[in-house]
Structure 1
Amino acid sequence: MKSKLYELRADLLLLSVAIAWGVTFLMVQDAINTTPVYAFLFFRFAIASILMFFIAFKFLNQINKKTIFYGIILGIFLFSAFATQTFGLSYTKSSIVAFITGLNVICVPFLAYFIFKDHIKRNVLIATFIAVIGLYLLTMSGALTIGKGELLTLICAFLFALQIIYTGKFSKEVNVFLLVLFQLITVTVLSLGFSLLLDNVTFNLTYDYAFFKAVLITAIFATVYAFLIQTYMQQFTSATKTAIIFAMEPVSASIFAFLAVGELLTNIQISGAILIVLATIIAEVKFKSLSHIFNR
C-alpha cells in the first residue's frame, strides 16, 4: 500500500513536469524567433547548471566516476534529442515534429523490454496506444510522409525514450542531485559547442526582456525543477508510465495557449487531448479494476 502511494505521488509530480514544459512552450517559441536555438539552449542549461550546483552542493563529496559517467550519458541522450528535433524542424512542419517526438510514448515500453526485459503491464500498454492516437489527433495538421525531417524526428523520439528509460535505471544507483547536475552540465557544454559551430551568434545576442524571461523561467521550472523531479520520481514509477504522463505536455501547452493568447482548438484536437488524459488515467488503474468496471 505504501509503495502504491509513493507511485501515485511520483506520477502526480511527473504530471507537474509535463505541465511546466507545456506552459513554457510559447515562451521558448517566442525566444528562439530572435535567438539561435543552440545559443538559447546554452544559456538555459548554463543557468540551470549553476542553480543545480548550489542545490547539490552538500552532496559534492559523493561524486564518483559512476555518477559522472551516468550524468554524461543522460546529457548526451537529452542534447542529441534536442539537436535532432531542431534539425527535423528545418525539413518538416512543427505539428509533424510534435507528433513524431511524442511517439517516444510507444518507444519506451518496447525499448525497456528489449534492453532490460522490463515487464509491460496490460493497462499501461493499452494506455500507450490510446496516448499515441490522442497525440495524432491533437498535434497533426498535415499528411505524414517519410522524409529527412521525419527520420530525424523519429531518431529524436528514440533518444527521448532512452533518456527516460536510463533515468529510471541510473536514479536508483547514484545520488539523484549529482546525476541531474552532470546531465545539465553535459547539455550546456554540447549546446555551447554546437552554437559556436552552427549559430550565427552565441554571445552577441539581443538581451531583451523576452530573452531573460524565457531563459530564467525555463532554466528554473522547465529544467532544474523538471529534471530533478523526473530523475527523483522515476525511482518509484515505471519508464513507460513516465512517457505516458509526459504525453500531457502538448495538452497543457494547448490549454495555456488558449488562456494566454486565445488560441482555439478544433473538435478533433479536443478529442485528442481527452484521449491523452484518458490514457494517463488508464495507466494508473489495474486491468482487473478496469474489467470490474466494464462488467458491472
Structure 2
Amino acid sequence: MTRVQANLLLLLAAAIWGGGFVAQSTAMKELSPFWFIGLRFAVATAAVLPFVLLERRKAAVKTSRRHLGLYLAIGLALFGGAATQQVGLQTTSVTNSSFITGLYVVFVPVIAVLFLRRPPHWIIWPGAVMAIAGIYLLSGGHLSALTVGDGLTVICAGFWAIQITLAGTTVKETGRPLALSATQFAITSLLALIVAAIFEPVSLDAIMGAAPEILYVGVFSSGVAFVLQIIGQRYTTPSQAAIFLSSEALFGSSLAALILGETIPPVGYIGCALMFSAMLVVEVVPELSRRRAQAV
C-alpha cells in the first residue's frame, strides 16, 4: 500500500467519525442517551469480534491479570467519554461537539505529564491556549453562550484523553489493539445498559426508530473506521496521520451544516480554525522536531 492510499484510508475514517456526530444527535429524537450508548457499543463489540479472533491466532503475548485491569480502566474511561458526549449533545450543537471533542489532542500530553511523568513538548502550552480561545470564540465570544452540553463535552475530551493514554500504553504491552477495542466496547455497553435500565424508559418502537443511527455508529464509526485507522497508520507517518484524522472535526461540522442546517456565528469560524490548528500543532510540531534532531 502506498502512503497516498494509506492517507486516503485515514481520511475516510475521519469522515465516518464526523458523520457519527450527526447520527448521535439525530438518534436522540427517538432514543434516550444511555440506551443509545448501550446498543451502539453492543453492535460495535459484535462488529470487532471477528477481527479479534484473527488477531488472537497471531498473538505473541498472553493476557495477564494486569492487562485485564488495564482493559477495565480503559473501558471505564470510554464509558465516561461516551456518556458525557452523548448527554452533552442534548444541549449543544453537533458543530460544537465535534470541535470541542477534538481537544483530546491537547489533553493527551498533559495527562502523560501528570500520570506518566513524561515532560511535554513546549508546543503543548501555546496549543492549550489556542484551544481555550477557540472554545470561547466558538460560543460567539460570550461566556454566557456556552451551554451545559459544551461543558460536558470538554469533560468528554478529558475522558477520551485518558482512554487514549492508557490504550497506547496497553497496546504496546499486549500487541492486541483489537482485543482491547472489543473489551472496552463491551464494558461501555454493559455499563450504559445498566444505567439505561434503571433511569430511562424504552420501547421497541424507539429502538427501531433509532436503528439506522445505532447501526451506523456501531458498525462504521466503531468497527470499520477503527480497522481503517489501524491499517492506514502502518503505511504513513505519525504527523500525516494526525492531520488526516484530525479532519474528523471538520467533517462533523460540515455534515451538521448540510444535514441538520446548523450554523455558527461568524467569529465562531475563527474559533474552529484555532481549535483545529491547536489539534494539528501539538501532533505535528513534536514529530518535526524529532526528525530534525535525528538528522543532526
- TM bucket (normalised to shorter chain) is 0.7 to 0.9
Distance apart, 1:273 and its partner CA = 2.4
Question: In the TM superposition, what whole-angstrom CA distance separates every residue of 1:214-240 from its partner, at most 9, and x where no partner exists?
Answer: 111111222123445667859x859xx
Name the CA shift for 1:149/1:50 in 2 (closer, same or farther; >3 Å): closer
**In the alignment, which residue of structure 2 is the partner of 1:189?**
190
Distance apart, 1:200 and its partner CA = 0.6
5+ long unaligned stretches in structure 1: 290-296
**In the alignment, which residue of structure 2 is the partner of 1:179?**
180
Q: In 1, Cα distance between the equivalents of 2:264 and 2:146?
A: 26
CA contact (8 A) 2:75 2:185 kept: yes
Q: In 1, Cα distance between the equivalents of 2:29 and 2:216?
A: 17
Q: In 2, Cα distance between the equivalents of 1:68 and 1:114?
A: 23
Identity rate of aligned residues, in percent? 27
Q: Aligned to 2:22, what secondary structure does the other structure show?
A: helix
Q: In 2, Cα distance between the equivalents of 1:184 and 1:237?
A: 25
Distance apart, 1:100 and its partner CA = 6.3
Asked if 1:20 corresponds to 2:16, the answer is yes
Q: Aligned to 2:206, what secondary structure does the other structure show?
A: coil
**In the alignment, which residue of structure 1 is the partner of 2:270?**
271
Q: In 2, Cα distance between the equivalents of 1:83 and 1:31?
A: 14
Q: Which moved more, 1:100-109 or 1:29-38?
A: 100-109
**In the alignment, which residue of structure 1 is the partner of 2:259?**
260
CA contact (8 A) 2:93 2:262 kept: no
Distance apart, 1:43 and its partner CA = 1.6
5+ long unaligned stretches in structure 2: 290-296
Structure-1-length-normalised TM-score: 0.73
Asked if 1:215 corresponds to 2:211, the answer is no
Name the CA shift for 1:281/1:83 in 2 (closer, same or farther; >3 Å): closer
CA contact (8 A) 1:74 1:183 kept: yes
Q: Aligned to 2:185, what secondary structure does the other structure show?
A: helix
Amino acid paired to 1:122: W
Residues 34-73 of structure 1 mapped to structure 2, 5 A cutoff: 34-60=30-56, 62=59, 64-65=63-64, 66-73=66-73
Residues 135-154 of structure 1 mapped to structure 2, 5 A cutoff: 135-138=135-138, 143-144=143-144
Distance apart, 1:120 and its partner CA = 1.8
**In the alignment, which residue of structure 2 is the partner of 1:74?**
74
Q: Aligned to 2:259, what secondary structure does the other structure show?
A: helix
CA contact (8 A) 1:46 1:185 kept: yes
**In the alignment, which residue of structure 2 is the partner of 1:164?**
164
Name the CA shift for 1:177/1:147 in 2 (closer, same or farther; >3 Å): closer
Q: Aligned to 1:122, what secondary structure does the other structure show?
A: coil
Q: In 1, Cα distance between the equivalents of 2:252 and 2:105?
A: 17
Q: In 1, Cα distance between the equivalents of 2:255 and 2:150?
A: 27
Structure-2-length-normalised TM-score: 0.73
| Total equivalences in the alignment | 277
Question: In the TM superposition, what whole-angstrom CA distance separates every residue of 1:27-52 from its partner, at most 9, and x where no partner exists?
Answer: 22111111111111122111111111
Q: Aligned to 2:143, what secondary structure does the other structure show?
A: coil
